Each structure stands twice: as structure tokens, then as C-alpha cells.
Amino acid sequence: MTIQNILDRKGTKVFTIRPTATVRNAADQMRERGVAALVMESGGAIMGIVSERDIVNAMSRFGEHALSMSVKEILTLAIVTVTPGDSIKRAMSLMTRHRVRQLPVIAEGRLAGIVSVGDVVKQRLDDLEAESNVLRDVYIAAH
């Protein structure tokens, strides 16, 4: 299974934010859209990801002042990405190694989607269930 399988199921919609937007604006957008991260884009280029974790860390470090800071001041700059053809196993490995919960999907140099740890786990569980059903059916047919 590949990242494309996840995108086919969930879609390719990615919510983005400008580097100059405030942390409060980012938090509001995440709440309204029901997402845990926003991709920071400027001129079509991905500059980073601002996540709930980044906001919590900023609040812990800067207090209420963090809400008026720009997202570029608090976001995770190390961007780990995948392509649609990458395996789900590779995505799990990257998420574990880099301790990230979201991976932007890049196709032909452009943002093509985003996958979260929840998306990856759901896909993996669906794959295991399908495999289990096939094995059960083979076992039943053999007896």
C-alpha cells in the first residue's frame, strides 16, 4: 500500500496558512477545520508546518504573547515529506524517526496532500483486516 491509497480515500485538500498570520489565527483555523496542523506556504513554496504541538510549546515558552506572534516564529522548520508512491511503511518510519505527526505529500514539486499518523494507522488497520479476511476464507475453503 502507498500514500496514494490514503489520498484516494481521504482526498487531497490541504489547509495552508501565510507566514505572517498570527498563532491565534492558526489555532482558530485548526479548530474550525478540525485539523491538527496547517502547512505554511509562501509563493507556492512550503516553508514549514505549524501544528497543535507547536502552539502548545509556544504558549509554554512565551505565555499569552505567543498568540500574537506570527506562525513563522514558532513553526517546525524541518520539513519531512513523502511522495504519493511512497509506502505506508516508509511513512510510519519517517514519522517515528523524526517524531512528526503529519507529512506533506509532494508530487512533481507541488503540495499534493497531507497524511497524518491517524491516516496511516487507519490504512494499516484496514490492510490487516483485509489480509485476515483473506486468510480466514482460504482456511475455510481448505476445510
Dist CA 7 CA 10 (whole Å): 5
The span from the first CA to the last CA of the chain, in angstroms, equals 30
- What pTM was computed for the model? 0.82
Tell me which CATH homologous superfamily contains domain 3-142: CBS-domain (3.10.580.10)
Question: Is residue 19 over pLDDT 80?
Answer: yes
Cell numbers describing residue 36: 491538527
Residue range 41-60, pLDDT digits in tens: 888 788 889 999 999 999 99
Strands 16-17 and 37-42: parallel
Burial 62-78 (b: 16+ CB within 10 A, else e): eeeebbeebbbebbbee
The pLDDT of residue 139: 73
Average pLDDT for 61-70: 96
Dist CA 90 CA 94 (whole Å): 6
**Three-class DSSP category at 103:** strand
- Which residue's C-alpha cell is 482526498? 11
Residue range 74-125, pLDDT digits in tens: 976 668 999 999 999 999 999 999 989 999 999 998 899 999 999 998 888 8
The pLDDT of residue 27: 97
Indicate the pLDDT class of residue 8, thresholds 50, 70 and 90.
very high
